[in-house]
Amino acid sequence: MHDRQEIIVVHRRAPVLWALPKGTPDSGETIEETALRETREETGLEVEIEVSLSSIRYFFVRGTTRFHKTVHFFLMRPVGGALELHDHEFDEVRWAAGPEALALLTHATERTVVERALKLLDGVDEAEATA
């Protein structure tokens, strides 16, 4: 998240994909360490975790092997880095306002994660306004 209501999204042209940053843990990494590293690699940003949002489970088939995957998502805030430093796994990395991010994201499960983050941030914004 950036400026409270912006979401970082990553884009690949072929095959077309708009997604949230994520990846596979390295040996011995916690889920939090994986999230921080993958976000840094895929976006160029240094971030801090604020809160766990949710996890999604899915499977995919590569060749004749079925893979089961669990992805953990976190609400994060940028503390350094630059989008220009993102790796070449994606063609584009950018900030998108909440409604735009929801329209761009390829997978419904990731849209649900963003909706949850936006609701959480709306609650934080309301609490700050009344404080």
Asked if residue 63 has pLDDT above 90, the reply is yes
The predicted structure's pLDDT at residue 97: 95
Domain contains 107: yes
The partner residues of 76 in beta bridges, in order of sequence, read 49
Contact 66, 59 (CB under 8 A): yes
Residue from 66, 67, 58 nearest 112 by CA: 58
Instruction: For 66-99, write each residue's pLDDT tens digit.
Output: 999 999 999 999 999 999 999 999 999 999 999 9
Q: Output the domain CATH number for residue 33.
A: 3.90.79.10
Q: How confident is the model at residue 21 (pLDDT cuts 50, 70, 90)?
A: very high
Report the candidate in 98, 96, 90, 56 with the shortest Cα–Cα distance to residue 73.
56
pLDDT at residue 5, as a whole number: 81
Cα gap 76→53, rounded to integer Å: 10
pLDDT attached to residue 122: 86
Looking at residue 129, its pLDDT comes to 45
* Residue 124 φ/ψ, nearest 5 degrees: -65, -45
Total number of domains constituting the chain: 1
Domain hosting 107: range is: 6-130
